[in-house]
Amino acid sequence: MSIAVIFIPFIGVEFKHKIGKILIAPIYSIGYGLRSVEDFMALLRAYSIEYIADVRSNPYSKWNPDFCREPISAFLQQQGVGYVYLGDMIGGIPKDDSCYTEGKLDVQKAKNHQAFKGGIDRLLNAHEKELSVALMCGEVEPHQCHRSKLIGEVLSEKGVSLVHIINERQQKTQAQVMLELTKGKSTTDLFGNPTI
């Protein structure tokens, strides 16, 4: 197996993967926060995003109603960007009680849940088809969101890069976000077991 390297000039980030075929672009991640839909769309254009995968468990926003499921879906489609809702599969607040231990999300249980695995498979399928996809959630800072803590870690385990869009000129790799989140500590123990 060879190492493929890609340099994305606009972004200025080099990605390396051990894969048997030509390297394809990463999956992206973006939070809308209090951005306007126009500013959000400008970011999608800056990164050539073709599809949004909405990963919010509850796809509504009282703080920014333009990003409620129906309005944002319609807006994106008018702009030529596809929209798919995956929050019921890979959202950060699963509906199934079996994903929780003592009322708290158990990341390992969530990762092993059939719906979550199905959502990850959909992302991997889009990635293999070389579609330019961004995961969307409400939190602008990726270290505060399950995009990095849950989805990004699983994608990394599968050898897929997740790049978190911060603004037009700044992004963070999944590894950078996890270093921030863990304050430089490893996310696995000596035997490869998760520590967070």
User: Which of 23-27, 159-163, 168-172 is least confident?
Assistant: 23-27
148 band by pLDDT with thresholds 50, 70 and 90:
confident
Provide the number of structural domains found in the chain.
1
Above 50 in pLDDT, residue 135? Answer: yes
Give me the residue label for tokens 């998760």.
194
- Which of 140, 143, 165, 166 has the alpha carbon at shortest distance from 153? 143
Q: Does a structural domain hold residue 5?
A: no
Query: How far apart, in Å, are the Cα atoms of 42 and each of 28, 39, 121?
Result: 15, 5, 28
Q: Does a structural domain hold residue 188?
A: no
Above 90 in pLDDT, residue 44? Answer: yes
69 band by pLDDT with thresholds 50, 70 and 90:
very high
Q: Does a structural domain hold residue 121?
A: yes
Structure tokens at 190: 């000596």
Say what the pTM is: 0.81
Q: Which domain holds residue 167?
A: 22-182
Strand pairing report for 27-31 and 162-165: parallel
Q: Does a structural domain hold residue 193?
A: no
Q: Does a structural domain hold residue 86?
A: yes
Question: What pLDDT sits at residue 184?
Answer: 66
123 band by pLDDT with thresholds 50, 70 and 90:
very high
User: Which of 10-14, 45-49, 56-60, 88-92 is least confident?
Assistant: 10-14
Contact 66, 72 (CB under 8 A): yes
Q: Does a structural domain hold residue 105?
A: yes
185 band by pLDDT with thresholds 50, 70 and 90:
low
Above 90 in pLDDT, residue 166? Answer: yes
Strand pairing report for 13-18 and 3-8: antiparallel
Distance CA 160, CA 27 (A): 7
User: What CATH number does the domain containing 66 carry?
Assistant: 3.40.1010.10
Q: Does a structural domain hold residue 61?
A: yes
Helical residues (DSSP H) of the chain, grouped into ranges: 37-46, 69-78, 87-90, 107-112, 114-128, 146, 153-157, 174-182
Distance CA 142, CA 165 (A): 9
Q: Does a structural domain hold residue 112?
A: yes
Contact 140, 63 (CB under 8 A): no
- Provide the terminal-to-terminal Cα distance of the chain, rounded to the nearest Å: 31
The segment with the largest mean pLDDT, out of 7-21, 58-72, 155-169, is 58-72
The per-residue pLDDT of the chain, averaged, comes to 85
Question: What pLDDT sits at residue 109?
Answer: 95
Q: What is the mean predicted confidence (pLDDT) over 110-132? A: 95
Query: How far apart, in Å, are the Cα atoms of 86 and each of 94, 135, 148?
Result: 11, 9, 16
